[in-house]
Structure 1
């Protein structure tokens, strides 16, 4: 296994988190009362329970670096995630940033921000 990192994000309800991410192709790798791990290919997201989380005040987030950002964005839209700039869950379309990267955004039902970044060819 190569070195890697995985985000640790809050979940108010594991079932709601599982259902949201399942619509995007994620499956449960591990679950107990205190931890949840989901994967989609090489993407791994880990969640801890936080029933008292206030999504409006959440500052949790991570980056998903994707080989095909447009395909993932399309899957989010097909899953019914609204394209908007307010509320959550929501998806914001990819755009070219000053950094030269194409970046979109996904906010999950707990308002964790997942920046969607197109991988560059090396």
Structure 2
């Protein structure tokens, strides 16, 4: 197995969080009262997000964020668009389409219902 890290993110409601991410192709791998793990893609090369309960989180005050480096940014962006997440600069949830960054990377931005910013980065 290759070393990897997984973001630990807040969720006000595990069921609502799982439903939102299911629209983006994530499946629930584990859930208890205190932890939830979602993954997307084949088990040997998947994107994994882990969530802890934070029922009192104000999504408009959240400063949580993470980067997901993806082999097929276009595929997840198609799912983001199909799921009905608005392409907007305000509001929660929302996304900003993928664009070339001055760093040379192609990056899209997604804000989930709990106010977490996910930077979706195309692997080279």
**TM-score when normalising by structure 2:** 0.94
What is aligned with 1:22? 22
- 2:52 counterpart SS class: strand
What is aligned with 1:6? 6
- 2:60 counterpart SS class: helix
Aligned residues: 120
Write the distance in 2 (CA, Å) between the matches of 1:45 and 1:9: 7
What is aligned with 1:53? 57
Unaligned runs of 5+ in 2: none
Unaligned runs of 5+ in 1: none
Write the distance in 2 (CA, Å) between the matches of 1:14 and 1:106: 18
Q: Please list the CA deviations of residues 17-39 of structure 1 after superposition, one character each: whole Å capped at 9, or x if unmatched.
A: 01000111111111000000001
Say if 2:60 is the partner of 1:73: no
| Coordinate RMSD, CA, aligned | 0.7
How far off is 1:60 after superposition? 0.5
How far off is 1:74 after superposition? 1.1
Write the distance in 1 (CA, Å) between the matches of 2:120 and 2:97: 9
Say if 2:95 is the partner of 1:94: no
**TM-score when normalising by structure 1:** 0.96
Write the distance in 2 (CA, Å) between the matches of 1:26 and 1:95: 23
How far off is 1:73 after superposition? 0.8
